Amino acid sequence: MHNHHTDMPPFKRLLVDILMASIFILLAGFALWLLWITFFRATFDTGLVSSSDQTALEQIATGAGISREHFHNVDQAVLEGAESISLCLKCHGNYPHSKAPDVRAFLNAHAFFTACETCHIRPTESDHIVYKWLNKKTGMELSRLEGKPGSYGAMIVPIKVAEDGIGRRLDESADKAFIEEYLSLRATFNADQQAEAKVRIHKEISQKPIFCDECHTKNGLLNFRSLLYSPVVANRLETGEVASMITKYSKFYLPTMFDPASRTRGRRNTP
Amino acid sequence: MKTKHTARDITVALFLLTAFLTLFIPAAAMAVDDENCLMCHKYAGLGRYAKNEEQKAVKRIFYVNEELFKASYHGKLRCKNCHTGVEEIPHTDVKNVDCATDCHLNDPSTGRAFSHKSIVNDLRKSAHGPDGTKKPDLIKDLPKCKDCHTNKPYQIGIGKELKSMQFIKVCLECHESEAWTNRFYKHMFYRAQTRRSSKQVVALCSKCHADKEKMDRHEVDVVIGFKDTFHGKAIVYGDEDVANCLNCHAPYQLGFSPHRIISHTDSSSPVHPDNKLRDCRQSGCHADAQEAFANKGKAHPSNVMTERVDEDGVTIYQEEQEFQAWVIEMIALFYKILIIAVVGGLGFHRLADLYATHRERKIALRAAKLGRHTS
């Protein structure tokens, strides 16, 4: 048989070789598939997440501990909102506020559609900062708001306009390379080195963030009409039910990244 | 007098106009969120991380999608019907929802306030409840309503939805309220379907029963081996005609319920040795089953050892389990070797054949060259 094979014309022999190789690949594939369904195929997804070896921060970053099903049904808006390109959220998680029981959930709701720097960079008098809705994926400015409240596929981003008229997104750190390097190496840093790095990372962040009533008021920091809200909604955000509700919030906590020891420091927002 | 008439006429006209315009307001818009909870809860990001009892970070999402909620089982209820005691903003003293609360809906079958109280009481007395568990000190491990149930929207499917719409017209011949009829029909239709596939049922039960650590705490056999049984394999491949956990442990056909599951050692359990035969024969599954079929061997053997220690400190069932574990391990090992030998042998044969072909071709070419030289 093999001698017969050698007598074939080269083209025919090539065809036979290709056929033989194909059969071999098919059989090998079949064998691998057989092994997979016998020993490796996932059977029943029990939803068990082994998170005992993870720190709380890692659990947040990997999504461990998040229940797969929510009683009131989690929809795409929650999943899309949690997908953020923000460098801040790589450490602070998608729900970064946790200390002030009165407001933490509301602040986290804002984090889905507001860049961290909107509240955590307080403009000085000399700064010229404009706030715009920028598409989360393309970075393009929105011309109108479409979708459910807060779920416009965009974020309110502070833009610092220089004297020459060129704007810089404040949510894009000039120190991005350093931050990413720190994130990959932080496990090897001691406490002092980490503290030093954190000071550099947060150098643009204001120690005293902007509080609710500084935006949700007439002539506040944000001009809701310029941010494409209808006059009715803008009024509601400035003086209506939202504004009247936030006057009840009394306790806020300042970020502790600058001074990790003073974790209990707070501020009374209303006298 | 004339003025009075005019005022009354205007009032009547306005009333009629309002009533007329109301006809054009969609039903969804009429079911207003009159507590205004959605002012905040419509935001997708409303939530936070909290630590659970095991000090693990758990995401708590407070967002409610209005459309999905209105289309759900509880879509007619107000938030505060379940979330009782929520009076202040921010909510600082929110109690856990108690599913045994009387709803502000009347049960059409009795005319009384509807409640899940009887089911909650059943669950309390079952093996999954604080009154029925062998380990009342481990209540935190026991499943709560929400561990198995979510407030799903009625999903009938587009094709069936169209047929439903045609059928609802028949209902409306007698029942005047379209919204009520639509909801009632969807409820009945949806509940007549199987809500969870067998695969989902097994996954749900496995959340706890495949957790060896948890089962050891409760001195219950961990269930690992079900996936290797005929039933388990068929379910993995999507067969809905084989028994899942509930078909044997809580068969509705025999008067049991998932909320009334009890230990297999209880003589009234459907999987107690005295009742197993009836369990296997139910619904025509194994109609001709005999005693040996039902009670010899285990329905879901496990090759994971569980240690049971009785009151005198003696490990029980150890010998039987050791032998079963050894047999299962040997069978698994045999099949592993068989598959590796067959598949590996096949691959080796193909490679060897390719090598032989290549070598013979080279020899033949060399011989041909030699032949040309000698000739």
pLDDT one-digit tens code per residue, A180-213: 899 889 889 898 988 899 989 998 899 889 988 8
- Partners of A59 on chain B (C-beta within 8 Å) are 56-57
B339 lies in a domain?
Answer: yes
Report pLDDT digits (tens) over A140-174: 999 999 988 888 999 999 999 998 999 999 988 88
The string over A44-79, giving b where at least 16 C-beta atoms fall within 10 Å of a residue's C-beta and e elsewhere, is bebeebebeebebeebbbeebbbbeebbbbbbebbe
Which residue from A139, A184, A179 is spatially nearest to A157, judged by alpha carbons?
Answer: A139
What mean pLDDT do residues A69-75 have? 80
Please, are residues B120 and B108 in contact by the beta-carbon 8 Å criterion? no
B320 lies in a domain?
Answer: yes
B141 lies in a domain?
Answer: no
Please, are residues A212 and A249 in contact by the beta-carbon 8 Å criterion? yes
For residues B42 and B45, give the distance between their C-alpha atoms in angstroms, rounded to a whole number.
9
- Partners of A29 on chain B (C-beta within 8 Å) are none
Query: Is the Cβ pair A44, B356 closer than 8 Å?
Result: no
- Partners of B42 on chain A (C-beta within 8 Å) are 148-150
- Partners of B40 on chain A (C-beta within 8 Å) are 106, 109
pLDDT attached to residue B3: 47
Confidence band for A67, pLDDT divided at 50, 70 and 90:
very low
pTM: 0.70
Query: Is the Cβ pair B44, A151 closer than 8 Å?
Result: yes
B280 lies in a domain?
Answer: no
pLDDT attached to residue A42: 53
For residues B301 and B324, give the distance between their C-alpha atoms in angstroms, rounded to a whole number.
8
Query: Is the Cβ pair A73, B339 closer than 8 Å?
Result: no
Map tokens 């997104």 to a residue. A169
How far is CA B1 from its chain centroid?
70
Instruction: Provide the percentage of residues in chain A whose pLDDT is more than 90.
Output: 24
Query: Is the Cβ pair A70, B150 closer than 8 Å?
Result: yes
- Partners of A108 on chain B (C-beta within 8 Å) are 45-48
pLDDT attached to residue A134: 94
Report pLDDT digits (tens) over A15-42: 888 888 888 888 888 878 877 776 666 5
Distance from CA of A5 to the nearest CA of B (A): 8
Nearest CA in chain A to B233: A43
Q: Which of A65, A112, A150 sits opposite B58 (nearest CB)?
A: A65
Per DSSP, the three-state class of B288 is: coil
Mean pLDDT, each 10-residue run in order, chain B (375 residues): 54 52 42 76 90 81 88 86 83 84 82 89 95 90 90 71 78 89 84 83 90 88 83 88 93 93 93 93 90 84 56 55 73 86 87 89 87 69
pLDDT attached to residue B53: 73
Gyration radius of chain B over CA positions: 32
Q: Which of A73, A75, A98 sits opposite B49 (nearest CB)?
A: A98
Q: Which of A34, A59, A148 sits opposite B56 (nearest CB)?
A: A59
- For residue B324, give its domain range: 315-365
Query: Is the Cβ pair A71, B151 closer than 8 Å?
Result: yes
pLDDT attached to residue B296: 81
- Name the packing angle between helices B318-374 and A10-35 (round to 10°): 170
Residue B70, C-beta contacts closer than 8 angstroms, at least 6 positions apart:
B28, B31
The total domain count for chain B is 1
Q: Which of A43, A48, A104 sits opposite B227 (nearest CB)?
A: A43
How far is CA B145 from its chain centroid?
11
Report pLDDT digits (tens) over A103-113: 889 999 999 99
Please, are residues A57 and A91 in contact by the beta-carbon 8 Å criterion? yes
Nearest CA in chain B to A48: B207
Q: Which of A2, A56, A81 sits opposite B45 (nearest CB)?
A: A81
- In this structure, the number of other CB atoms found within 10 A of the CB of residue A120 comes to 21
B182 lies in a domain?
Answer: no
pLDDT attached to residue B169: 87
Residue B72, C-beta contacts closer than 8 angstroms, at least 6 positions apart:
A72, A73, B151, B152, B153, B154
Query: Is the Cβ pair B57, A59 closer than 8 Å?
Result: yes
B357 lies in a domain?
Answer: yes
Please, are residues B219 and B177 in contact by the beta-carbon 8 Å criterion? no
- Per-residue pLDDT for A60 more than 80? no
For residues B109 and B118, give the distance between their C-alpha atoms in angstroms, rounded to a whole number.
15
Q: Which of A23, A44, A93 sits opposite B227 (nearest CB)?
A: A44
Average pLDDT value for chain A: 78
Cβ-Cβ contacts under 8 Å between A and B: the total is 169
- Which residues of chain A from 239 to 258 reach within 8 Å of chain B, CB to CB? 241-242, 245, 248-249
Please, are residues A238 and A216 in contact by the beta-carbon 8 Å criterion? yes
For residues A133 and A147, give the distance between their C-alpha atoms in angstroms, rounded to a whole number.
13
